[in-house]
Amino acid sequence: MDKTTATIVCTQSSQVLATRLAEKLTLSLTPVIRRRFPDGEIYIQIEFSPLSTHTCEKVVLIGSTLTSDDIVELLLLIDACVEKEIILVLPYMGYARQDQRFNPGESISARAIAQTLGARVSQVITVNIHKETVLSDFRVPARNVSLATEIATHIKTVISADAKPLLLAPDKGALGLIQRVAMQCNYEYDYLSKKRISGEEVIIESKAIPVAGRELVIIDDIISTGGTLATSATMLIAQGASLIHAVCVHGVFIQGAYARLKQCGIGHLCSSDTIESAGSGYSAAPAIAQAIREIL
Ligand code: R5P
């Protein structure tokens, strides 16, 4: 990799992950000035050095889009780098869960965001995107990386192998992820059946899984309200599970979800740094760095 021709630029929301990525790839992290106009609009200026303005041909632009402001900041950064080849990394892609029209008149938000962000970049990398079918909506080469290896390594670090934990996906959608994690830990795994009632409420169907007296690790792509995890944990505790841990990729943790989940007895609870918080217990940097090495 020619380090003089590529640099990393990040949004405010992905500064820690971008720093880790820069270290892994031994690439520079170009600073960005951010301000707000009096009316709240965002101003950005990328501080390319006089030399890199001319010599740096590629920009790895990294930014999770948890809020609408994150999306605007990313669009402004894309515009500021437009003379260069942009590899866009979306560690967490917001709006990705509505990937089809359920009722007439609804927008397919995943497609709308993917088409907008993909319009002026040359490649896209996502991390455990909710559904890989969304990748084609970027309309440029796009690939999704999985944090299964990082999750497996993390579980082996924080949970004693003597406990022989059972890995559980809260729904069939997380089965692919948990299979890959289980393969690397050599632990048993299973999945639950979930029915979503509303944004906050889910029903977990009872299933005969021998959990009595066992330590469990629930693994999901996203923890948002924590409803899925809390409902699963309540059922599993009633079935006799001795201890429940939870690891996810994207820790959205809205409405105080992290504190609520800890208070209702979840043991180890963490996410990656695709959304940066004190609950980020492992990093997506190794997996993203590997994907970038294969591109640059
Ligand atoms: C849904 O299909 C996802 O995989 C997660 O299970 C879901 O987003 C979790 O949301 P919440 O924490 O609000 O239940």
Query: Would you say residue 208 has pLDDT above 90?
Result: no
Q: What are phi and psi of 108, to 5 degrees?
A: -95, 90
Query: Would you say residue 188 has pLDDT above 90?
Result: yes
> Within a 10 A sphere around the Cβ of 35, how many other Cβ atoms?
9
Report the residue among 198, 200, 223, 269 best suited for mutation to probe ligand 1: largest number of ligand atoms under 8 A from its CB: 223
Residue 249, H or E segment: strand 243-251
Question: Helices 285-295 and 15-25, interaxial angle, to 10°?
Answer: 50
Give the residue whose CA is nearest to atom 9 of ligand 1: 223
Higher-confidence position of 214 and 264: 214
* pLDDT of 199: 78
Least confident span in 20-34, 41-55, 159-173, 243-257: 41-55
Give bridge partners of residue 126 from the DSSP assignment: 90, 144
Residue 55 near residue 64 (C-beta atoms within 8 A): no
Q: Amino acid letter at 208?
A: A
Does ligand 1 lie within 6 Å of residue 215's CB atom? no
Residue 109 near residue 101 (C-beta atoms within 8 A): no
Atom in ligand 1 nearest the alpha carbon of residue 224:
12
Does ligand 1 lie within 6 Å of residue 251's CB atom? no
Q: For 90-143, how does the pLDDT look when each residue is reduced to its tens digit (9 = 90+)?
A: 999 999 999 999 999 999 999 999 999 999 999 999 999 999 999 999 999 999
* pLDDT of 198: 81
Does ligand 1 lie within 6 Å of residue 170's CB atom? yes
* pLDDT of 1: 61
Does ligand 1 lie within 6 Å of residue 220's CB atom? yes
Burial of 179 (0-12, 13-18, 19+ CB in 10 A): middle
Q: Which of 58, 164, 194, 207 does the annotation list as catalytic?
A: 194
The model's pTM:
0.94
Query: Would you say residue 3 has pLDDT above 70?
Result: no
Average pLDDT over residues 62-90: 97
Give percent of the chain above pLDDT 90.
86
Q: How far is the CA of 194 from the centre of ligand 1 (A)?
A: 10
Q: Which of 126, 130, 63 is nearest to 100 (CA)?
A: 130
Edge to edge, the sheet with strand 189-191 lists: 189-191, 166-169, 215-223, 243-251, 269-272, 280-282
Burial 46-85 (b: 16+ CB within 10 A, else e): bebeeebeeebebbbbbbbbbeebbbebbbbbbebbeebb
Q: How far is the CA of 96 from the centre of ligand 1 (A)?
A: 12
Q: For 15-56, how does the pLDDT look when each residue is reduced to its tens digit (9 = 90+)?
A: 999 999 999 999 999 999 999 999 999 999 999 987 777 778
Query: Would you say residue 74 has pLDDT above 90?
Result: yes
Residue 118 CA to residue 13 CA, distance in Å, equals 19
Give the residue whose CA is nearest to atom 1 of ligand 1: 222
* pLDDT of 2: 64
Concatenated DSSP letters for 113-141?
HHHHHHTT-SEEEEES-S-GGGGGGGSS-
Give bridge partners of residue 9 from the DSSP assignment: 61
Whether 194 is catalytic is yes
* pLDDT of 4: 67
Q: How far is the CA of 223 from the centre of ligand 1 (A)?
A: 6
Q: How far is the CA of 51 from the centre of ligand 1 (A)?
A: 46
Higher-confidence position of 253 and 49: 253
> Taking the CA of residue 150 as centre, how many other CA atoms within 13 Å lie in the half-sphere pointing to its CB?
25
* pLDDT of 53: 73
